[in-house]
Amino acid sequence: MTAQVGMAAPDFALDAVTGTEPGREFSRLSLNDFRKKWLVLFFYPADFTFVCPTEIKGFNDNLNTFRKLGAEVVGISTDSKWSHLAWIKRGDLGKLDYPLLADFTKKTARLYGVLDEETGVAKRGLFIIDPQGVIQYQVVHNADVGRSIEETIRVLEALQTGGLCPLGWKPGQKTLGR
């Protein structure tokens, strides 16, 4: 069964690039490491591509906003940790302040239902997972179309209201009665 809104998020334990200092580049991260926080988990197709760095840098540019909302951000692709590290060191992503996880076995992309079996890469999927580990939002984009950071933040804020948020709801606006 693949991940769906309202279900517990599938667990993962993956190698992650968490820095560039020699001997401290990698760590192992699991879903459990993000318990009690909101998690914005996004899959992207591949390192060294064209649309992906715009998204990765966009999430990084807005990381303080996510963290003020009690959320962490994690990126995942089916590339290896070595590929992630080489891409970061090449400078394409600037200084990255959140981890990129390596789903080299493709198991996590399959569990989240975003693996393109023909190409072997992850689709452009995004999941917002609540502090209890339940998926509250998911979206999958065509590989050629980048996601909206602003929409991700808006949805995260809407979910955190606990109310019913109508079409186009924005922070500060009233929610519908409950």
Catalytically active residues are: 52
SS3 110: helix
Query: Is the separation of the CB atoms in 79 and 88 below 8 Å?
Result: no
Residue whose tokens read 């991700």: 152
Chain centroid offset of residue 81 CA: 16
Query: Residue 162 class from Cβ within 10 Å (0-12 exposed, 13-18 middle, 19+ buried)?
Result: exposed
Give the separation between CA 120 and CA 139, rounded to whole angstroms.
19
Biggest CA pair distance of the chain: 54
Query: Is the separation of the CB atoms in 128 and 155 below 8 Å?
Result: yes
Give the separation between CA 90 and CA 97, rounded to whole angstroms.
16
